[in-house]
């Protein structure tokens, strides 16, 4: 019985599938032709199943790469945000014009004068209270320079307790939230971010705090609450970095 081979190559990266040889089915008995046809169909089905498995594997790899890309993009945005905050701190210090030492009022006098000033300014101005500046700068250095995050938490808490009316208080709450979130203390982090959102309407950290509240809710499995926070960021802070991140989070909910 004469047979001719027909090879159909399916080339998927790194894998070569070949269709089984197809014999002429016009010769031999009916049973032989049926057997030949069954072998051909079985070979084709096996090749197709292998191809489908390979495609499914490739789709899984693409989905995994897409997830990693989004994660890396978020991490990069966090790094850029931290760099912006460092530049803001440097700019704040360079533009500071504290009173001369001989003319500077005592810590208690200055604190009394600043206690009536609400801490709701959008930009953080350098305080005339040297003790206040030193306390805040110490906490910031522990985060940005020393990276002693565990030590920075009690420093920020002590600062808020000692200087409750400082213009730095919303920033201190925000940093506390960031540090507590990094330690997985989501409820405590939520309390700090909520303090910024509820008590400091004009703070330049409010949009970021709303975003972080949404992320905390997402981590705790409260998707509907997370969605409401992300939508609030988009509504109240459009065309901002927190809004861009909130939009990406919403797309993945």
- Range with lowest mean pLDDT among 30-34, 68-72, 128-132, 139-143: 128-132
Secondary structure string (H, E, C) spanning the chain: CCCCCCCCEEEECCEEEECCCCCCCCCCCHHHHHHHHHHHHHHHHHHHHHHHHHHHHHHHHHHHHHHHHHHHHHHHHHHHHHHHHHHHHHHHHHCCCCCCHHHCCCHHHHHHHHCCCCCCCCCCCCCCCHHHHHHHHHHHHHHHCCCCHHHHHHHHHHHHHHCCCCCCHHHHHHHHHHHHHHCCCHHHHHHHHHHHHHHCCCCCCHHHHHHHHHHHHHHCCCHHHHHHHHHHHHHHCCCCHHHHHHHHHHHHC
Buried-exposed string 92-118: b where 16+ CB fall within 10 A, e elsewhere: beeeeeeeeeeeeeeeeebbeebeeee
* Contacts with 49 (C-beta within 8 Å, 6 or more apart), sequence order: none
Residue 205 has pLDDT above 80, yes or no: yes
* The pLDDT of residue 215: 94
- pLDDT for 52 equals 83
- pLDDT computed for residue 35 by the predictor: 77
Is pTM beyond 0.85? Reply is: no
Query: Please, which pLDDT band fits residue 65 given cuts at 50, 70 and 90?
Result: confident
* Best CATH choice for the domain 82-93+116-252 from the list 3.40.50.2300, 1.10.10.10, 1.25.40.10, 1.20.1630.10: 1.25.40.10
**What pLDDT score was predicted for residue 103?**
34
Show me where the domains of the chain are located.
1-81, 82-93+116-252
Q: Which residue has the higher pLDDT, 173 or 97?
A: 173
pLDDT at 38: 79
Q: Which of 18-32, 146-160, 191-205 has the highest mean pLDDT?
A: 191-205
pLDDT per residue over 113-144, tens digit each? Answer: 333 333 333 344 445 555 888 889 888 888 88
What does the pLDDT read at residue 193?
96
The arithmetic mean of pLDDT across residues 37-57, rounded, is 82
């Amino acid at each position: 019985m004469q047979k001719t081979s027909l090879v159909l190559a399916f080339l998927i990266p790194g894998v070569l599938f070949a269709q089984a040889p197809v014999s002429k089915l016009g010769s031999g008995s009916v049973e032989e032709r049926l057997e030949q046809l069954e072998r051909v169909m079985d070979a084709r089905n096996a090749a197709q199943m292998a191809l489908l498995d390979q495609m499914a594997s490739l789709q899984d790899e693409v989905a995994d790469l897409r997830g990693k890309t989004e994660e890396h993009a978020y991490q990069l945005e966090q790094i850029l945000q931290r760099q912006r905050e460092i530049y803001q701190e440097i700019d704040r210090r360079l533009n500071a014009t504290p009173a001369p030492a001989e003319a500077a009022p005592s810590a208690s006098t200055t604190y009394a004068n600043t206690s009536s000033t609400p801490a709701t300014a959008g930009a953080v101005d350098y305080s005339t209270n040297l003790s206040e500046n030193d306390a805040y700068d110490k906490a910031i250095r522990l985060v940005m320079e020393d990276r002693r995050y565990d030590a920075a938490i009690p420093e920020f808490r002590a600062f808020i307790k000692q200087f409750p009316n400082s213009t730095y208080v919303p920033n201190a709450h925000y940093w506390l939230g960031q540090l507590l979130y990094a330690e997985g203390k989501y409820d405590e982090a939520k309390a700090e971010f909520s303090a910024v959102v509820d008590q400091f309407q004009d703070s330049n950290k409010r949009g970021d705090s709303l975003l972080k509240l949404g992320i905390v809710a997402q981590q705790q499995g409260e998707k509907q609450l997370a969605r409401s926070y992300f939508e609030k960021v988009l509504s109240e802070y459009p065309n901002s970095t927190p809004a861009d991140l909130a939009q990406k989070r919403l797309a993945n909910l």
